[in-house]
Structure 1
Amino acid sequence: MSGHGFAPTRSSSGEPDQSSEATEHSGVLRRVRSTFAAYVALTKPRVIELLLVATIPVMLLADRGVIHLGLIVVTLIGGWLGAASANSLNMVVDADIDQKMKRTERRPLARDAVSRRNALIFGLVLAVVSFLVLWLGANLLSAILVMITIAFYVGVYTMILKRRTWQNVVWGGAAGCMPTLVGWAAVRGSLSWEPIVLFLVIFFWTPPHTWALAMRYKEDYRAAGVPMLPVIASEARVTRLIMIYTWLTVLCTFALIPAASWIYLAVAVVAGAWFLVVVHKLYRDTLRGAPVTPLKIFLKSNEYLAIVFCGLAVDSVVNLPTILSYF
């Protein structure tokens, strides 16, 4: 036996078995890749797309006509780390119900690919690094706002609201609105009415967006004991509330028009009209008892938000005179 406690496998000729060593090496690489993929999955990378949609246009609006590329990159990195932290800690708390839902049963903690202890440490380390990146790369206010976001998402939404009330995503969705405040604070070092309006846009957009998805997976939520609105209410009531919140979303996008030019005005009006037509059709189909596909509303809500915020980004970069300047 060698000094390391094992002897290399040898072939019949007495030479080391290269194929055995290659197989062992390949197995190690697979385990490393699997572990790395599990930790990436903890961060819910697809969810973080909202961070990009919300943060960049707000930063461009905060200083119209100027692109602070370095600051945008730093803010996105810090914000991504903060969102990854919140998502990882969310999975730690929700590991038990994730095992009961088909939509989430392949998440790392649900299938024991990562231990709760390691996921907790991972999430906390990400939070600390996020704070430091934003504090040193942007300013203290943006760093504090990200910490508030993490605490609210995990402490208020996940641990208190999610399993207790159908209004979980109404109030808990505020965490997803915070990139608007973080982005503005990173540029200005303070807050103003414009990011608050954009905060409200995402605040009112989140419930219909989430309820549409929950309509598709309501049996999953029922099995996990999570009182999402589609679990406890009729489809008519759910789609009516989706319609009401969509109207509030569109009206909030109009509230930002004075701070923008005709480019954003046109985008907000056309996109808002299109999305309202889609949502009203869903409500009418529900009342008639016609087959509905709520997942399409979920996907179209993503498209709507992306269109509005991209329109705002283009408007801010072009920097035409604002609507307010004409009065």
Structure 2
Amino acid sequence: MEKPGHAPEIAGGMASPSDYIALLKPRVMSLVVFTALVGLVRAPDHVHPVIAFTAILCIAVGAGAAGALNMWWDADIDAIMSRTRKRPIPAGRVTPKEALAFGMTLACFSVGVLGLLVNALSAALLAFTIFFYVVIYTMWLKRSTSQNIVIGGLAGALPPMVAWAAASGSVSLESVLLVAIIFFWTPPHFWALALYRADDYARAGVPMLPVTAGPDETRRQILLYTLFLAPLAFVPVLLGYAGIAYAIVSAVTGAGMIWLAVAVYRQRTGDEAVRAARRLFGFSILYLFLLFATLLVEAVIPGI
């Protein structure tokens, strides 16, 4: 595992609070917090509000730590890619050493507090999640294989299980299902983005699937994963973990995902191909949000 070449060190002291917030990847963090909240609420055991708040806070901080460490390691390629070159490190507002110290401090804090105030299992799962995202995905898979998103997606899928363990002290089939839904959602979501950002990834030397296998194979893989994802997302209904509201939302939005994935598969050239990929990328975010929001509402308002 070879350390990438980072941008030259800067004097420091140029960063504002917003730069450190940017290091946390707040948009990613918000998704992590939301899916973790669903895992916490869906867990079978009642949890004290203070413990619940502590667990969610630690998971959020842990996600932010992983984001900061990701930006520290990827500063060299972030400086090349158009969508990331304005991030705090390549823009010269935060030094790599500052980002590393910031990320490591947050990682140790989040895991330590979760272990001391909640339970050891959730802390161990959070530590594994951070390790997997930073070391397995960022440092190894991202630059070495086109399956980086497939395998690395596990890190982004684990927060509901971490929260479930925080509430119950254990894991269960339902928490595994929540992880599986996010895990299989990740490839079509990110590959849709990669289809219209392929030049960026190629310029940075990141072997995303459109770069290594071409856009047509990427479209085929998007369709295959989506055809698996839609029925998988309906499994909680079949196992009695979700109600009629979730069944309707899962069926309708799953059909929408498949329809958009088919459109991506069929539209292969010109601006229409780019628009199809953008539509799938945007809708995939809404899709995951609606699934988990419905699970949350069903837990808060039983019988709907």
- The answer to whether TM tops 0.5 is yes
The more displaced of 134-143 and 154-163 is 134-143
Per the alignment, in what secondary structure is the counterpart of residue 126 of structure 2?
A: helix
Query: Which residue identity lines up with residue 19 of structure 2 in the other structure?
Result: A
Corresponding position of 1:317 = 300
Q: CA deviation at 1:275?
A: 1.8
> Would you say 1:182 and 2:165 are equivalent positions?
no
Alignment of 1:107-126 (within 5 A): 107-126=87-106
- Choose from 32, 40, 58 the match for 1:59: 40
| Structure 2 residue identity aligned to 1:299 | G
Q: Specify the SS of the correspondent of 1:241.
A: helix
1:275 maps onto 2:244 in alignment: no
Equivalent residue for 1:210? 190
Equivalent-residue separation in structure 1 for 2:299 and 2:255 (angstroms): 22
Residue 231 of structure 1 aligns to which amino acid in structure 2?
V
Is residue 49 from structure 1 mapped to residue 40 from structure 2 by the alignment? Answer: no
Structure 1's unaligned 5+ residue stretches are: 1-30, 322-327
- How many residues in Structure 1 have an aligned counterpart in Structure 2? 290
Which of the numbers 201, 217, 224 marks the counterpart of 2:181? 201
Cα distance in 2 for partners of 1:201, 1:164 equals 25
1:36 maps to 2:17:
yes
- Return the offset for 1:141: 1.0
Structure-1 separation of matches of 2:288 and 2:272: 27
Tell me by how many angstroms 1:33 deviates: 8.6
Which aligned pairs between 1:1-327 and structure 2 lie closer than 5 A?
Answer: 34-63=15-44, 69-257=49-237, 258-286=240-268, 290-293=272-275, 294-320=277-303
Amino acid at match of 1:173: G
Q: Is the 8 A contact 1:236 1:287 kept in 2?
A: no
Deviation of 1:269 after TM superposition, in Å, equals 1.3
**Unmatched 5+ residue regions in structure 2?**
1-11
Contact 1:67 1:317 in 2 (8 A): no
Cα pair 2:78 2:90 within 8 Å, conserved: yes
TM-score (norm. length: structure 2): 0.89
Q: How many percent identity over aligned positions?
A: 40
Equivalent-residue separation in structure 1 for 2:93 and 2:175 (angstroms):
39
How far apart, in 2, do the equivalents of 1:72 and 1:300 lie? 30
Distance 1:136 1:296, change over 3 A: same
In 2, the alpha carbon distance for the partners of 1:261 and 1:137 equals 33
CA distance in 1, matches of 2:254, 2:82: 33
Counterpart amino acid of residue 253 in structure 1: A
The structure number with the bigger radius of gyration is: 1
Task: Tell me how far apart the structure 2 counterparts of residues 111 and 33 of structure 1 sit (CA, whole Å).
Answer: 11
Contact 2:230 2:254 in 1 (8 A): yes
Q: How far 1:169 moved relative to its partner?
A: 0.4
Amino acid at match of 1:256: P
Residue 93 of structure 1, CA deviation = 0.9
Question: Amino acid of the residue matched to residue 153 of structure 1?
Answer: Y
**Contact 2:195–2:274 (8 Å) recurs in 1:** no
User: Structure 1 residues 98 and 287, CA, compared in 2 at 3 Å: closer, same or farther?
Assistant: closer
Quote how far apart the aligned CAs of 1:68 are.
Answer: 5.2
Q: AA paired with 1:108?
A: P
For each residue in 1:280-300, what CA deviation from the matched residue of structure 2 results, as whole angstroms up to 9, or x when unmatched? 122122389954321221111
Whole-Å Cα distance in 2 between the matches of residues 289 and 149 of structure 1? Answer: 38
Q: Could you tell me which amino acid in structure 2 is paired with residue 319 of structure 1?
A: P
Q: Give the counterpart letter for 1:292 in structure 2.
A: V
Provide TM-score, normalisation by structure 1.
Answer: 0.83
Matches of 2:126 and 2:228 in 1, distance apart? 26
Separation of aligned partners in 1, 2:262 and 2:147: 22
- Taking a change above 3 Å as real, the CA distance of residues 169 and 97 of structure 1, as seen in their structure-2 partners, is same
Specify the code of the residue in structure 2 equivalent to 1:216: Y
Distance 1:134 1:241 in 2: 38
